[in-house]
Structure 1
Amino acid sequence: MYILSCNQKIKNSEKNTVTAIEGVFTDRQVEAGGELYMNACSSCHGKNLRGSESGSPLIGGRFLSKWKDGSAGALFSYTKRTMPLNNPESYDDETYSELLAFILNANGYPAGKNPLSSKKDELDRITLGKTQAQRVNFQFKPKEADHSTPTIEAEWLHHRGDYASTNYADLDQINSTNADQLKIAWRWKTDNFGSEPEYYYKATPLMVNGVLFTTAGSSRTVVAIDAITGETLWVFRFDEKERSAHVPRQNSGRGVAYWKAPENERDKIIYITPGFQLIALDAQTGRLVREFGTDGVVDLKKGLGDHVDPITTTIGSTSPPVIVNDVIVMGSCFPVGMAPASKKQISGDIMGYDIRTGKQLWIFHTIPRPGEFGNETWENNSWTYTGNVGAWTPLTADPELGYVYLPMEAPTGDYYGGHRHGDNLFSQSLVCLNAKTGKRVWHYQTVHHDIWDYDLPAPPVLANITVDDKPIKAVVQVTKQAFTFVFDRVTGEPVWPIEERPVPQSNVPGEKTSATQPFPTKPAPFDQQDYSDDILIDFTPEIKAEALKIAAKYHKGPLFTPINVYNPPEEMGTLMIPDAVGGANWQGAVLDPETNTLFVSSSTVLRPMSLESAPELSDMNYVAYSGDSRIGPYGLPLAKPPWGRITAINLNTGEHLWMTANADTPDWVKNNPALKGIDLPRTGLPDRVGLLVTKSLLFAGEGAGLYGSDGGGGRMFRAHDKATGAIVAEIELPANQAGIPMTYSINGKQYIVVAVGAVGHPGELIALSL
């Protein structure tokens, strides 16, 4: 409870009058007003109400002398007319009365049993009473409030722009004729949102009614930001106390979800804390919605079942939920699965909650239980202890069908499946659920019994395509192994045939791999999949010869070649391509719905991986170890460029349209002494980049450089011609692009906002405009 103590005694010398001294507000109003004050007012007026350079004091003699002869109604009206400074009259009357109760209580007026009314006639009958402060003649002329309403041409309502996860906006003010004139309109910094700065800032804001909503900092603070100026409007921080010590991914996450309420209800911000709690905030004030869950909070760990410890169980979510037809649906994430401490984990079951009450509506078991479809794919009762199989990426939905589409991850552990024989449904599957009931509509497993960490890494994209003159409501899933799976999103039938083909088998003790894996016949892979000597770096004959010597030390083969046990000098590990971070990763694909062109960001990394027994780390028979991708000659990558790509695919035909490197040749390649005098190609960077497509252009950065040993990341932000991939404009950002770009238009101006960050450069939002 935010109540400030005040020893000042206020005497009521007026008889036969109702005064604030008599207790005309309740403790509940004081508490609610205190929360609003700390979130929305304290930055100007001070946490102790004693003012600052930007705000006058709201406590003490000076304040009391101003209002000693006034009424509660006058103070109420003045506060409403002028506050918040950037958006007066933005709260309802009940909220302003709660704020008034907090201010009065802080000045020594006591709480009572009767609530402070928000009706003007009742407020005007309440005098503030005489104080011990010296009488002064006071005349107040309030500043005229600005009641202008911004004109909104285009909002950004979902994490990927829409339910279909297209990351598309029908805007073209920024186009090929002026994109090179983009400038920074404002910058919003995250330095102080958390105990220490966050450098890999992956959030994508939403924009609704002229306000951006996003998360920031390791505590995942929710913030509202003016979409024109970048000014912070309100902040909400939730303290998870001892729960914070058991968070699997302590970061700001990827953002929030927004619910536009029907008339007579309040819009809500919905987000998931690092400790896996679901929170509902009033979108206008940033205050907890008390009627949701328990005072605005739902414990998602308790929702999973009694077998889950609400404090110590390490499950969370870094992605926002999706709200479809008034049902909140969310996935989950776990600690990195290369070396799990145990083969025994909890499963990342999918849950649905009512948007108004926070009541759990259903739960879908991602590892099926006895009697449920798919349980037989977990041999030897391995379903009883195996975990993971969550959906850690943002989700996609079709509100007209009432369906939600889940890109599922691997079971425990990522690289060894000897404790969980069988195909292991619903791991590595695209699952379609009925959003109202949580019932499975259809599914397709893209990897059987995964031992490569080939999670479905990105939200699927919905597209209305035409194939051989037949209209199809499609859902498109890109993968780490560089496949593009295209299904009828109503029935789950593949649009083009998918073939089960034989794959190499594991020789690791205890392992039992699937004899076949699914291969789409269309579209073609968008990145390198199989090892051959032809893919090795070959800038010079000497470099190629050295690359062949290095590759000869490792086990290698086509896609789905199992990782072997480290046993030097005979076995140094397996060269994996694509590696576990892609191909495609969480940045995924975007869609131009006008042409049904899919744009995919991917990387080409040839990485050594191996398995080892480590009983001091885990009760699993084997855990995994990852090597450096730059094991090639002279510190270069072992694979030839391009190391990062953007590929355009026509979804009506399944054919590739173009491919371009995602960046220029980096300095660490150009300045390599072994390459002096060599005419190098445009190599791109071994990183995945976030894409944004508009009516006129495709925008792409160079990636965050998260995997520093790979040499990725860069500051350039480019506009590409959608039809050819040609670069139209280049803009240098203050740091590396880390998040997925978004765009909106307000008061006739289009903005592009992207999260940036880099080593030594804490995350921030950069807004670009003409």
Structure 2
Amino acid sequence: MIKTKRVLSALALSVGSLMCASTAWSQHGTDVSQGDWPDYNGNMAAQRYSPLDQINADNVADLEIAWRLPTGDFGDNPEYNATFTPLEVDGVLYTTIGSQRDVVAIDATSGEVLWQWESIDSQERYDNAPRKGSGRGLAIWRDGDESRLLVITPGFYLVSLDAETGTLDPEFGDNGFIDMHEGLRLGPGREDLDIGSSMPPFVMNNVVVVGPAMAVSMRPPSMANVKGDVRAYDVRTGEHLWTFHTIPRPGEFGYDTWLENSADYTGNTGVWAPMSGDPELGHVYLPVEAPTGDRYGGDRPGDNLFGTSLVAVDIETGERQWHYQIIHHDIWDWDNPAAPILADLPNGRKIVMQVTKQAFVYTFDRETGEPIWPIEELPVPAGDVPGEWYAATQPFPTKPAGFDRQGITEDDLIDYTPELRAAALEAIEPFRLGTNLYSPPSVRGAEDGTQGTLSLPSATGGANWEGAALDPETGMLYVPSRTVVAVLSVAKDENSDIDFSMALGVRVPRAMGLPIVKPPYGRITAIDMVEGEHEWMVANADTPSIIADNPALEGVDLPRTGVETRSGLLLTKTLLFAGEGVGGGPYLRAHDKQTGEIIAEIEMPGTQTGQPFTYEHNGKQYVAMVVSGQGQPSELVAYALP
């Protein structure tokens, strides 16, 4: 099933600081203050920040490719956008790679592959996996001279590898791996195991925590599905330590929020996003997703704890410390998509922040769960989908303000010319306007003749898995987001026992080939988390040719529109780095952190699709990321000064 080989790779194409005080956000024996990148988001606080400053505003424009590693020889093809982010510790990169999710160790200064572990699920297990491909990365654990890599295969095995050799750890689980299919709470009447994960496991205080993901639930085959429980294991032995039931069992806290015993059969409600944690408090923070299904919840009446909630649990016992439900009875697919970000602010507050698809930053005291600023339960509209259950209110933060557009009205429509304005108004005629952020889905072919409800943001954000970046020195949060209209339209799927699911064949309207709403279509927003106020916002990219060259815009002086993507961000001591993300162009920009001004623009071999990261080794700082597109397989590319 699983084998390891050591290789010296000819794939790597070599092209030819200052340390800050230690941080509390790592127990790996290394952290970003030492010039490493030992966690998926840099540190366990998910800040995506490094204090390195060898690359700065004065020289960032001089960056050159130091080395590049194509992924084609690991099973990837030109149509595949890799999205993994390697770790770096002591001059070695560790990452998942290739469509089968192999693991490789790479020399951080040359790109030479030091060893490769081949992960081979059984064909049936791989074929049935809902989350295939290279995944987004792995985790590392260190204790003295011991170091282990923890990774989840597409077929849903938790694997422990010796970081020095890439061999299975015989002391962990069943000779190095744990079958995560065992012990699941299955959906009644479902024989398939719709469960896996593409994110790294989370390791803290000698415990490894696994959150699961399912197939996209826009058109679920059934109201019943496997439950997305979060499970934890001893990182040395693989001993099962605890399970947190994201859908409560009878008698457990929150079971009464699932009316008509719907908790007994409803599934999903996993933690597909990365996690974060506070090793001193012993809290791991779970960004829980929505239950089955994404657009219709009539089969699960009630608020549905812990669906779309932020939950703090004890890392040793799994006991809930506090929770906050961010959406009651989620029928928008606005599940929590990113790691909660922890920070010790300059004003002394110790907070945790959850950025969301609906473009809010929910902010709490990370020990108690008390909101930093009031969160108001405000009335929201009910819909008219037969059999649906509607929450009467939803929680709206009073600070910070939303970082992207929320709800859509005629004022949001493009008006560059009278003709375009008329085309936009005509384009929205078949739809209801979701003027409230929480305007619910409607039926395709409703009695009023509409085909669905237009909504902002879409189910893919606002924010998404790229998360945000936090500057621990200033308390400034930088959030990438996108402004894309969605159609909330449901219809009966005759192949499912669920009453309604996403309607097929209903498309988002456009006006003369253009988006119907005003730009920017992708943005980066800087938010002062000490005061809860926005500082600046910039478009994430130049105006793409598909917009700039549209004949309907001839003679129109367009603002810089950005693109409909979410940038990957990296913060350093002096700079904010931003790519354009999946679907964007092949550019990396360095911004002034205080103003958003672009300091340098670097053209890359492809589009940034993995998260950018930085590290230092042998006195040289590198900025690296996976890039994709341009008709070639994805590449891991590292930049450095000449």
Q: Shorter-chain TM-score category?
A: over 0.9
Matched, 1:738 2:609: yes
Distance 2:37 2:355 in 1: 23
Cα deviation for residue 304 of structure 1 reads 2.7
Distance 1:459 1:181 in 2: 33
The partner residue of 2:482 within 589, 603, 612 is: 603
Q: Give the partner amino acid of 1:546.
A: A
Distance 1:517 1:298 in 2: 39
Distance 1:605 1:656 in 2: 21
The partner residue of 1:631 within 509, 513, 529 is: 509
The partner residue of 2:520 within 642, 651, 654 is: 642
Q: Give the partner amino acid of 2:369.
A: G
Matched, 1:619 2:497: yes
Inter-CA distance 306–444: structure 2 relative to 1 (3 Å threshold): closer
> What is the correspondence of 1:130-145 to structure 2 with a 5 Å cutoff?
none
Q: Give the partner amino acid of 2:136.
A: R
Matched, 1:516 2:378: no
Contact conserved, 1:166 with 1:591, CA < 8 A, in 2? yes
Cα deviation for residue 758 of structure 1 reads 2.1
Question: Per chain length, whose mean CA-contact separation is higher, i.e. which structure has more relative contact order (CA < 8 Å, sep 6+)?
Answer: 2
The partner residue of 2:262 within 360, 382, 386 is: 382
Distance 1:603 1:687 in 2: 6
Across the aligned residues of Structure 1 and Structure 2, the Cα RMSD in angstroms comes to 2.0
Contact conserved, 1:303 with 1:360, CA < 8 A, in 2? no
Distance 1:686 1:458 in 2: 18
> What is the correspondence of 1:313-324 to structure 2 with a 5 Å cutoff?
313-324=193-204
Distance 2:78 2:541 in 1: 27
1:322-372 Cα shifts (integer Å, max 9, x gaps): 111000011111001110011110111000100111111000100000111
Inter-CA distance 768–424: structure 2 relative to 1 (3 Å threshold): same
Q: Give the partner amino acid of 1:614.
A: D
Cα deviation for residue 310 of structure 1 reads 13
Residue of structure 2 in register with 1:498 after alignment: 375
Distance 2:84 2:204 in 1: 21
Distance 2:264 2:425 in 1: 46
Contact conserved, 1:605 with 1:629, CA < 8 A, in 2? no
Matched, 1:689 2:567: yes
> What is the correspondence of 1:190-589 to structure 2 with a 5 Å cutoff?
190-194=71-75, 196=77, 199-241=80-122, 242-263=124-145, 266-304=146-184, 312-465=192-345, 471-556=348-433, 557-567=435-445, 570-589=449-468
Inter-CA distance 252–171: structure 2 relative to 1 (3 Å threshold): same
Contact conserved, 2:489 with 2:506, CA < 8 A, in 1? no
Residue of structure 2 in register with 1:88 after alignment: none
Distance 2:388 2:458 in 1: 20
Distance 2:9 2:597 in 1: 46
1:420-465 Cα shifts (integer Å, max 9, x gaps): 0000000000000000000000000000000000011100100112
Matched, 1:594 2:465: no
Contact conserved, 2:186 with 2:227, CA < 8 A, in 1? no
Distance 2:399 2:387 in 1: 35
Distance 1:261 1:418 in 2: 49
Distance 1:656 1:306 in 2: 44
Q: Please identify, of 501-510 and 669-678, the stretch whose mean Cα deviation from structure 2 is larger.
A: 669-678
Cα deviation for residue 628 of structure 1 reads 8.0
> What is the correspondence of 1:658-673 to structure 2 with a 5 Å cutoff?
658-673=536-551
Q: TM-score, normalised by structure 1?
A: 0.78
Q: Give the partner amino acid of 2:486.
A: R
1:10-62 Cα shifts (integer Å, max 9, x gaps): xxxxxxxxxxxxxxxxxxxxxxxxx66xx115879xxxxxxxxxxxxxxxxxx
Cα deviation for residue 607 of structure 1 reads 2.1
Distance 2:9 2:50 in 1: 35
Contact conserved, 2:451 with 2:506, CA < 8 A, in 1? no
Contact conserved, 1:608 with 1:627, CA < 8 A, in 2? no
Distance 2:371 2:519 in 1: 32
Distance 2:506 2:98 in 1: 29
Inter-CA distance 240–724: structure 2 relative to 1 (3 Å threshold): same
Distance 2:592 2:269 in 1: 38
Distance 2:220 2:42 in 1: 35
Distance 2:630 2:622 in 1: 26
**SS at 1:400 equivalent:** coil
Cα deviation for residue 752 of structure 1 reads 0.5
Inter-CA distance 314–720: structure 2 relative to 1 (3 Å threshold): same
Inter-CA distance 508–726: structure 2 relative to 1 (3 Å threshold): same
Inter-CA distance 308–300: structure 2 relative to 1 (3 Å threshold): farther
Inter-CA distance 545–595: structure 2 relative to 1 (3 Å threshold): same
1:724-745 Cα shifts (integer Å, max 9, x gaps): 0000000011111101110000
Distance 2:189 2:600 in 1: 52
Unaligned runs of 5+ in 2: 11-32
**SS at 1:302 equivalent:** coil
Matched, 1:40 2:2: no
Contact conserved, 1:243 with 1:311, CA < 8 A, in 2? no
The partner residue of 1:166 within 47, 52, 62 is: 47
Contact conserved, 1:607 with 1:626, CA < 8 A, in 2? no
1:178-234 Cα shifts (integer Å, max 9, x gaps): 111111111111113237566211101000111100011111010111100001111
> What is the correspondence of 1:57-68 to structure 2 with a 5 Å cutoff?
none
**SS at 2:208 equivalent:** strand
**SS at 1:432 equivalent:** strand
Contact conserved, 2:9 with 2:114, CA < 8 A, in 1? no
More helix by share: 1
> What is the correspondence of 1:148-167 to structure 2 with a 5 Å cutoff?
154-167=35-48
Structure index of larger Rg: 1
Inter-CA distance 42–209: structure 2 relative to 1 (3 Å threshold): closer
Distance 1:675 1:628 in 2: 26
The partner residue of 2:68 within 175, 180, 187 is: 187
Q: Please identify, of 538-547 and 727-736, the stretch whose mean Cα deviation from structure 2 is larger.
A: 538-547
Inter-CA distance 523–310: structure 2 relative to 1 (3 Å threshold): same
Cα deviation for residue 484 of structure 1 reads 0.6
Cα deviation for residue 251 of structure 1 reads 1.2
1:641-669 Cα shifts (integer Å, max 9, x gaps): 00001000001000000000000000111
Contact conserved, 2:51 with 2:573, CA < 8 A, in 1? yes
Residue of structure 1 in register with 2:18 after alignment: none
Cα deviation for residue 759 of structure 1 reads 6.5
Q: Give the partner amino acid of 2:6.
A: A
Cα deviation for residue 512 of structure 1 reads 1.1
Q: Please identify, of 327-336 and 311-320, the stretch whose mean Cα deviation from structure 2 is larger.
A: 311-320
Percentage identity across aligned positions? 53
1:294-314 Cα shifts (integer Å, max 9, x gaps): 110101111435889999412
**SS at 1:699 equivalent:** strand
Residue of structure 2 in register with 1:703 after alignment: 581
Inter-CA distance 201–208: structure 2 relative to 1 (3 Å threshold): same
Cα deviation for residue 634 of structure 1 reads 1.4
